[in-house]
Structure 1
Amino acid sequence: MFTEELIAVSRQPRVELFVALSAGPSHRTVLVIHGGPDWDHTYLREPLSKLAGTHRLVMPDLRGCGRSTRGLSDEQYTPDTAVDDLIVLMDTIGVDRTDVLGFSYGGLLAQRLALAAPHRVRRLILASTTVEAVPADAFDDWPDARERRAAGARVWSNPHLAGPELTRAAAVASAPANLWRHEMLPAYLRRLESVRFSAEWLRPLRAGILPHALLEDAVPRLTALAIPTLFLHGRYDMTFPARSVRRAADTIPSADAEILQAAGHMAHVDQPDAWLAAVSRFLDSTPGSSCDEGIHHQVQAEPPGCD
Structure 2
Amino acid sequence: MFTEELIAVSQQPCVELFVAQTTGPSHRTVLVIHGGPDWDHTYLREPLSKLARTHRLVMPDLRGCGRSTRGLPDDQYTPDTAVNDLILLMDNIGVDQADILGFSYGGLLAQRLALAAPHRVRRLILASTTVKAVPADAFDDWPDAVERRTVQAGVWSNPHLTGPELTRAAAVAAAPANLWRHEILPAYLRRLESVRFSAEWLRPLRAGILPQAVLEDAVPRLTALAIPTLFLHGRYDMTFPALFVQQAADAIPSASAKILETAGHMAHIDQPDTWLAAVSEFLD
- Normalised to the residue count of structure 1, the TM-score between the two structures is 0.92
Q: Residues 210-289 of structure 1 correspond to what in structure 2 (within 5 A)? A: 210-284=210-284
Q: Aligned partner of 1:149: which letter?
A: R
In the alignment, the residues of structure 1 paired with residue 136 and residue 149 of structure 2 have an alpha-carbon distance, to the nearest angstrom, of: 13
Verify the 8 A CA contact 1:25 1:53 in the aligned structure 2: no
In the alignment, the residues of structure 2 paired with residue 201 and residue 134 of structure 1 have an alpha-carbon distance, to the nearest angstrom, of: 20
Aligned position for 1:304: none
Verify the 8 A CA contact 1:83 1:109 in the aligned structure 2: yes
Tell me if 1:38 matches 2:29.
no
Q: Aligned partner of 1:248: which letter?
A: A
- Tell me the alpha carbon deviations over residues 62-87 of structure 1, each in whole angstroms, 9 at most, x when there is no partner: 00000000000000000000000000
In the alignment, the residues of structure 1 paired with residue 177 and residue 5 of structure 2 have an alpha-carbon distance, to the nearest angstrom, of: 33
Tell me if 1:9 matches 2:17.
no
- Look up the SS of the partner of 1:174 in the other structure: helix
Structure 1: which 5+ runs fail to align?
Answer: 285-307
Q: Aligned partner of 2:275: which letter?
A: W
Runs of 4+ in 1 over 2 A off after TM superposition: none
- Look up the SS of the partner of 2:53 in the other structure: coil
Aligned position for 1:81: 81
* Count of aligned residue pairs for this structure pair: 284
Structure 1 residue 216: deviation in Å?
1.5
Verify the 8 A CA contact 1:22 1:53 in the aligned structure 2: no
- Look up the SS of the partner of 2:57 in the other structure: strand
- Tell me the alpha carbon deviations over residues 190-209 of structure 1, each in whole angstroms, 9 at most, x when there is no partner: 00000000000000000000
Structure 2: which 5+ runs fail to align?
Answer: none
- Look up the SS of the partner of 1:83 in the other structure: helix
- Tell me the alpha carbon deviations over residues 34-66 of structure 1, each in whole angstroms, 9 at most, x when there is no partner: 000000000000000000131000000000000
In the alignment, the residues of structure 2 paired with residue 92 and residue 216 of structure 1 have an alpha-carbon distance, to the nearest angstrom, of: 30
Aligned position for 1:55: 55
In the alignment, the residues of structure 2 paired with residue 6 and residue 99 of structure 1 have an alpha-carbon distance, to the nearest angstrom, of: 22
In the alignment, the residues of structure 2 paired with residue 68 and residue 124 of structure 1 have an alpha-carbon distance, to the nearest angstrom, of: 24
Tell me if 1:162 matches 2:123.
no
In the alignment, the residues of structure 1 paired with residue 131 and residue 229 of structure 2 have an alpha-carbon distance, to the nearest angstrom, of: 12
Aligned position for 1:105: 105
Verify the 8 A CA contact 1:38 1:65 in the aligned structure 2: yes
Aligned position for 1:302: none
- Look up the SS of the partner of 1:133 in the other structure: coil
In the alignment, the residues of structure 1 paired with residue 190 and residue 105 of structure 2 have an alpha-carbon distance, to the nearest angstrom, of: 22
In the alignment, the residues of structure 2 paired with residue 133 and residue 91 of structure 1 have an alpha-carbon distance, to the nearest angstrom, of: 31
The percentage of aligned residue pairs carrying the same residue is: 87
Aligned position for 2:25: 25
- Tell me the alpha carbon deviations over residues 143-202 of structure 1, each in whole angstroms, 9 at most, x when there is no partner: 000111111000001011000000000000000000000011000000000000000000
Structure 1 residue 135: deviation in Å?
1.0
In the alignment, the residues of structure 1 paired with residue 185 and residue 159 of structure 2 have an alpha-carbon distance, to the nearest angstrom, of: 27
Q: Please provide the CA RMSD for this pair.
A: 0.4
- Tell me the alpha carbon deviations over residues 226-276 of structure 1, each in whole angstroms, 9 at most, x when there is no partner: 000000000000000000011001100000000000000000000000000
In the alignment, the residues of structure 1 paired with residue 193 and residue 253 of structure 2 have an alpha-carbon distance, to the nearest angstrom, of: 40
- Tell me the alpha carbon deviations over residues 6-44 of structure 1, each in whole angstroms, 9 at most, x when there is no partner: 000000100000000001111100000000000000000
In the alignment, the residues of structure 2 paired with residue 35 and residue 216 of structure 1 have an alpha-carbon distance, to the nearest angstrom, of: 20
Verify the 8 A CA contact 1:63 1:82 in the aligned structure 2: yes
In the alignment, the residues of structure 2 paired with residue 176 and residue 53 of structure 1 have an alpha-carbon distance, to the nearest angstrom, of: 32
